[in-house]
Amino acid sequence: MLHCQNPECLKSSCTQCGLADHIPLRCDEVEKDDQVALRTRVEQEMTAALLRACWRCRKSFYKTEGCNHMTCSCGGEMCYLCGKKLQKNEWRQHFSNPPPSEGGRGAGGDWTKTNDGRCRLYVNSDKLNSSRVTDAGQRAYREGVAETGVELHELHGVHGLAGAGKGKAKGKGKGKGKGEGRAGKVRGTGGRPP
């Protein structure tokens, strides 16, 4: 480590890489500005993939359990899966809730849809959120690398983005069919604010 003795500077720099003091990290462990920018981009995309916004009031929320028919405190209703705006009392036509024997993949191999192409009323929220977050993180990382040529050695908690979104959202919704989020009440058992 090199310590500048100039009273107006007094900065410490690494003699091997020339960067500011980074002890206890090795030179190859220090993130450069372009790596920080890529990491931030990936993390923002992963967060955006988890959050939904009410079409009427734009409040953000996410669901940890329950059905996919969301009703915001402002009265806006929407499908958690596809984001479609739902009209009062018409939501039942949008969803299908097949018996467990009809589980698996529906139209086009999509496990969130039924064979008739309608959104499932219930899906595993952890699996859904994890899948969306992982896909968004991997897509943002690939795009970032293609645009900048910068790569990350590791993304904490993501391990090369292969396991992005493995963490579970904490907390549970309240009641049977009606949940409440702190940023705004959201029905659908488990609407959660960010």
* Residues labelled as active-site residues: 67
Taking a C-beta distance cutoff of 8 angstroms, is the pair 94, 87 a contact?
no
**SS3 state of residue 169:** coil
| CA trace torsion 134, 94, 70, 127 (10° rounding) | -30
Cα dist from 80 to 20, 21, 24, 29, 163, whole Å: 46, 47, 45, 40, 23
Half-sphere exposure of 98 (CA within 13 A, CB side): 17
Burial of 2 by CB count in 10 Å (0-12 exposed, 13-18 middle, 19+ buried)? Answer: exposed
If we measure between CA atoms, which residue out of 56, 51, 43 comes closest to residue 169? 51
Report DSSP state, residue 28. Answer: G
Joined together, the tokens standing for residue 73 give 């405190």
How long a stretch of residues is the chain? 194
**Partner residues linked to 3 by β-bridges:** 12
